Structure 1
Amino acid sequence: MGRQLDLSARTVLITGAAGGLGSALAQALRERGAYLALLDLDADALAAQADALGGADVARGWAADVTDLAYLERVMAEVRAHFGGIDVAVAGAGVLGPVKTMTATSAAEWDRVIDINLGGVWRALRAAAPHVAARQGHLVALSSLIAYVHPPLLGGYAASKAAVAALCDVLRLELRPAGVTVGSVHPAIFRTPLIAGGLDSPAAVALVRDFTGVFRTVELDAVVADVVRAIEHRSARLTVPRAHRATPFAAGAVQAVVERLAFRPRTVRRAIALGSITTATESR
């Protein structure tokens, strides 16, 4: 749309706000002058976070579960009443889930990843959309580069993140007449305390070869800085690092190359053997 957002005195709502990325993003947005509505499961962490960011006039926490649409709708109304409106909503809550093969993954593990990573994004954006539309604001979903480059052993995660990208493409068209812009963010692997266990599991390390090449990890600060810029520019699609910016437009070709060069049969067999005993790990 070409309309940039000056974040000063704008209200930004973040789900998964107490997680590694969510808390760092909140700090960066507050430095831009944004008011912050912080949503997460951990009420105590949110209270401490809001105090550190300046208190209830500029940052307030709401304990919220992204699997509960009715509750999210009530929270959105409270946020609007407290701050006067919602200009930007960031759907950031998510889980990594099990690093396992499809046949080793239980139905409960699969359902949990899809319900939080996809269903949680849908619920958060659905609940926020009417309030954001009132301000002709911006909706953001935190996806992953894995939405476009699909490694084995992360079936639920890859499927959920790819679906989030598709959902944002649909919402961008549906909400354009209301003056709302929609963006999806696709970072490469970055480390936070909550996903360290999953990334350091034997299966993960064997699979991505100590996180080199296409799976080289990026710094959290770089992800946060790019997400803030994407919000300010109302970007439709962002990959981090920028070297991957062509990936969404050539996903099929990239996937074929990665399968041939990065996921050789011997590497995959070893990762599959290790992945059958790996436990689920949460991430945000």
Structure 2
Amino acid sequence: MPRYSLNGRTVLITGSTGGLGAAVATELRARGANLALLDLNGEQVMAQAATLGSESVAYGWAVDVRKLESVQAAVDAAASHFGGIDVVIANAGITSMAPLESHDPALFERVIDINLNGVWRTFRAALPYIKQSKGYLLGVSSMGAFVHSPLQGPYVASKAGVWALCDATRLEVRHYGVEVGSLHPTFFKTPMMDEVHADPAGHTLWGGNKKGLWKMIPLETVVESVVSGIERRAKIIVPTVQNSLVARVPGLLRPIVERIGFVGNTIPDAIAKAAKPPVI
């Protein structure tokens, strides 16, 4: 498959001012991409855009991924500003450290709402534009989708959900010429990981992620995997070779099941016949 050049294409990123979002945005801009930057703090995201170029190549919008109307307004504004959207990176995410028996219910719901529901809202808002460009949707999951960390129940549940959501969406939109992928990095240095290490429970659990199975990988490794994965329009992106087997084993039989179970136009025919859900 020929490389999907990013030069001149518009990439929309949620959570753009975070550790991964900011690093990916910088690399994408270096490869000639236009950047639609979305984050919760409007002043911060506009300041980020200003460091990456003129308003014609980088612009920011305040967005709350917990609200579909907020996401939709920002996505529509970005598409209008740049004349379309080619790639979406649903990256906004948070974590928490607590066992089930003492986990704050409100925090549990917040993690799920941002990490999983936020990806759904972002994909939903952007899909009409991605269909027009025959573009690419990328959901930021984690190795936590496959290796489930104790004391991080809502986080790993949300990331496993992102993987499943991306895979289901991929089947739904492939007949439009749209590709969908999920990203599964292991630990790497970000402000989020700094908070985990500062937490006594997190430090006890992971030992600072300095060695062994939980050793952190360079941020640059993750960024390169994201960009090259977009250029390949990859279904699954795993930044490190040693983790590839763990990530890919759950999906080994998936292509066979898809080929046998969803023959011909089964999926688009089902979509066409799907009843609209009731308005609640």
Q: Which TM-score band (shorter chain)?
A: 0.7 to 0.9
**Cα distance in structure 2, aligned partners of 1:193 and 1:74:** 28
Q: Secondary structure at the match of 1:22?
A: helix
1:131 corresponds to: 129
Equivalences for residues 74-153 of structure 1 within 5 A: 74-97=73-96, 99-153=97-151
Letter in 1 for 2:139: A
What secondary structure, in the 3-state scheme, does the structure 2 residue paired with 1:67 have? coil
CA shift, 1:14, in A, is 0.1
TM-score by length of 2: 0.86
> Aligned AA for 2:243?
H
Paired letter, 1:122:
W
CA offsets per residue over residues 151-187 of structure 1, 9 Å max, x none? Answer: 2110000000000000011011001011100000000
Q: Judging changes above 3 Å, is the alpha-carbon distance between structure 1 residues 194 and 150 closer, same or farther for their aligned structure 2 residues?
A: closer
Q: Which runs of 5+ in 1 are unaligned?
A: 253-284
CA RMSD for the aligned pairs?
A: 1.4
Matched residues, number: 250
Aligned-partner Cα distance in 2 for 1:185–1:247: 14
Contact 1:188–1:217 (CA under 8 A) maintained in structure 2: yes
Counterpart for residue 160 of structure 1? 158
Corresponding residue for residue 195 of structure 1: 193
- Give how far 1:251 is off: 5.2
Q: Which amino acid aligns with 1:171?
A: T
Residue in 2 that maps onto 1:257:
none
Where in structure 2 are there 5+ consecutive unaligned residues?
A: 252-280
In structure 2, the partner of 1:22 is 21
Aligned pair 1:46/2:45, yes or no?
Answer: yes
Contact 2:95/2:192, CA 8 A, preserved across alignment = no
Runs of 4+ in 1 over 4 A off after TM superposition: none
CA displacement, residues 162-213 of structure 1 (integer Å, 9 cap, x when unaligned) = 0000001101100101110000000001111243121332212222234222
- Tell me the TM-score normalized by structure 1: 0.85
